[in-house]
Amino acid sequence: MSIETRYAIHWREAETFDTEALRENFLVPGLLVPGALNVTYTHYDRLMLAGAVPLGEPLAFTEAHARLVGSEHHLARRELGLVNIGGPGRITADGTTFDLGFQDALYLGSGTADVTFASVDPANPAKFYINTAPAHARHPARHITKEAAKAVPLGSQETANKRTIFQYLHPDVLPTCQLVMGLTRLESGSVWNTMPAHTHDRRMEAYLYFELPENAFTVHLMGRPEATRHLVVRNEEAIVSPPWSIHCGAGTTSYAFIWSMAGDNQAFTDMDMIAMQDLR
């Protein structure tokens, strides 16, 4: 188990960073490690990123995760969203069991005390990508299948960004306090995500890129539109995107990624669009 904290960075400081400093502050590798529950706690809207890959024994939030947020247990004042990108998995939350298949999601409301993560078959383990965020009220737990998510097709083959957005934790699907979460899958031959680019100063965002072959990667663009930077991101690595930063990228092949947001609102379309000619 690992627990890491990422502190908020001003764009003036970020624009002085070399490659290693950019990676140290904005790239989150090593979340999905077999047999481990690894956590990165960020100071961007207090969003936490975690990965759980249970093998023979279930994994669980511990006293260390409660201390991380200064509460009696980790979800005492936080809500949780997760997506399974591995084999069949099983979540037990305060005695209720949820069986999750590939690309199924789960929402747990504030106040959930005991949470365990298990794989149905340790030889084909579940891979739970997890986010938690502060919550002011409790909403009911819900298992969201891929079919129950809101599917939004976007883009075209001509612009190499034909994709489908699956909105899981979204006001059109279920109520949450602030956490918004979904999955985007690019079609074969498409490589660009979130282009044209945008920012949303009211919310931060995080990405987890996955389904990238070993010899492939994405070039993730970040920074202010007039002063962009880039990060090379490989399979099952995450990105923390500050509210002042664009967040988009292109891969050497098609791929998928999970996006999540926390902040002042849950308006998915509340974006400040960037004209293509304004990117530098």
- Bind-site residues for Zn(2+): 198, 200, 205, 247
CB 42 within 8 A of CB 48: yes
Helix, strand, or coil here: 202? coil
Closest CA to 97 of 78, 120, 75: 120
User: Binding-site residues, please?
Assistant: 198, 200, 205, 247
Rounded to whole angstroms, the Cα distance separating 63 from 84 reads: 24
- Conformation bin of residue 18: beta by default, left when phi > 0, alpha when psi is -120 to 50: beta
DSSP 226-239: TEEEEEEE-TTEEE
Rounded to whole angstroms, the Cα distance separating 108 from 13 reads: 36
Closest CA to 48 of 126, 116, 130: 130
